[in-house]
Amino acid sequence: MLESEKDFEIKNLTSFKIGGTVSNVYFPETINEFVQIMKSLDKYLILGNCSNVLISSDGYDGNIILTTKMNNYSVNGTAVSADCGVKGPMLSKIAAENSLSGFEFMTGFPGSVGGEVYMNASAHGQSISDILKRCCVFNKLTKEIEYKENCDMEFGYRKSNLQTNGCVLLSAEFELKKGEKDAIQELMSRNLESRKAFQPSLANPNAGSVFKNPKNDSAGRLLDKAGVKALVCNDAAVWEKHANFIVNKGGATSEDVLNLMVQMRNLVKKEFTIELEPEVIYIGNRNQKEEELCKMLYKKIQK
C-alpha cells in the first residue's frame, strides 16, 4: 500500500535540518508507484535525499514525492542499474564488492541517483556523465515513460536537460570497468578522506556546496579571498574550514541561510565583480524578507 502523510514535518529528513510542514508527502517504493503518483497529481516536487536543498521554515503548501524508499538495483557484468532513490555511497560500495571501477567519486556523497544524474554530480575528476549509459524517465508533459541514451542528456557542469525538459529520472544504467578490488577500495578511501578534510560532515548540518564554481575558477577560493568565513547570521554560519559551505549551528532558519548567502555573494561581487550562482535549491513558502533575498540570489525565482 502506498505510503503518504499529510502535514508532514520534513525538517529532520533534510541534511540542513531546516524545513517546516509540507501539506502532502508521498513515499513510493517502486517505479510503478512513483509513476502512478505523478500521473494522479497536477503539481508536485520530487526530492531524493534532501541534501542540496533549503526548505522554507514556513513549510511548503503542496505535494512532495520522496524517492528515498526506491532502493532496487542490479549488477550484470560491468553494468549496474539502479532506481532513482538508491544512495551514491551504496552504489559505490556495491561496485567495489564486484570489482567495478567508476563509482569511487560517489563515496561519501549525501545524494541519491536521481539527484546525481539531474545535476551531473562530479568529484575527483569523475562525473555521472562519464559512466551513465542510458536511463528511464517519466515525461511529465505526455505522462509517458521514455528511454534516453547518454547523448540525449545534454550533460554539462552541474547540468543535464532533466533540469529543463520536464522529464523525471526513474532509473539509470551505468557502464563501469573491471578493476582490482583493493585499488578501487584504496581510491574510495582517499576520496573519503579528502571529502572529510574539505567538506563538513552531516554532524554539522549543511546542504553541500552553496555556490557553483564559475568558469575556470573556484567558488570556494573566491569566497575565501573575499573574507566570508567570519560571517554568521544567528545560527547559520560559514564553515570555518571551507568558505563555500554554510552550517546550521542548531536553530538556523531558512531566512538566516538566505541572508548569509546574499552576504557571501555580495562580498565576492564587490571584490571580484563576479556574481556567484547558487547550487543550493530553495523550496517552499517565502515571507516578505525571503522573497527579497531570493530575488537577489536566483535569476529565476523558484517555487
Torsion-angle region of 77 (φ positive above 0: left; ψ -120 to 50: alpha; else: beta): left
Please give the pLDDT value at position 300: 52
Say which amino acid occupies 130.
Answer: D
Mean of all residue pLDDT scores within the chain: 94
pLDDT at 301: 41
User: Are 297 and 278 a contacting pair, CB within 8 Å?
Assistant: yes
Q: One of 209, 254, 265, 290 is an active-site residue; which one?
A: 209
pLDDT tens, residue order, the chain (303 aa): 678 999 999 999 999 999 999 999 999 999 999 999 999 999 999 999 898 899 999 999 999 999 999 999 999 999 999 999 999 999 999 999 999 999 998 887 778 999 999 999 988 888 999 999 999 999 999 999 999 999 999 999 889 999 999 999 999 999 999 999 999 999 999 988 887 777 887 789 999 999 999 999 999 999 999 999 999 999 999 999 999 999 999 999 999 999 999 999 999 999 999 999 999 999 999 999 999 999 999 975 444
Per the annotation, the verdict on 158 as an active-site residue is yes
Q: How many CB atoms lie within 10 A of CB 21?
A: 19
Domains in the chain and their CATH numbers? Answer: 3-66 (3.30.43.10), 73-134+146-198 (3.30.465.10), 219-297 (3.90.78.10)
| 116 in active site | no
Q: Which of 127, 209, 129, 119 is nearest to 164 (CA)?
A: 119
Q: Identify the pLDDT of residue 201.
A: 79
The catalytic residue among 99, 122, 127, 158 is 158
Q: Closest by alpha carbon to 195, among 285, 106, 76?
A: 106
DSSP symbol at 214: P
Task: Tell me how far apart the alpha carbons of residues 102 and 127 are, in angstroms, rounded to a whole number.
Answer: 9
Other beta carbons within 10 angstroms of residue 296's beta carbon come to 11
Single-letter amino acid code for the residue at 221: R
Rounded CA-CA distance 139/249 in Å is 40
Of 303, 233, 234, nearest in space to 266 by CA? 233
User: What are the C-alpha distances in Å from 181 to residues 79, 107, 113, 184, 187?
Assistant: 16, 15, 23, 5, 10
Q: Is 15 in contact with 50 (CB distance < 8 Å)? A: yes
* 8 Å CB contact between 282 and 56: yes
pLDDT score, position 209: 93
**β-bridge mates for residue 90, sequence order:** none
Q: Does the annotation mark 74 as catalytic? A: no
pLDDT at 51: 87
**Contact 53/47 with Cβ under 8 angstroms?**
yes
pLDDT at 195: 78
Q: What is the pLDDT of residue 155?
A: 96
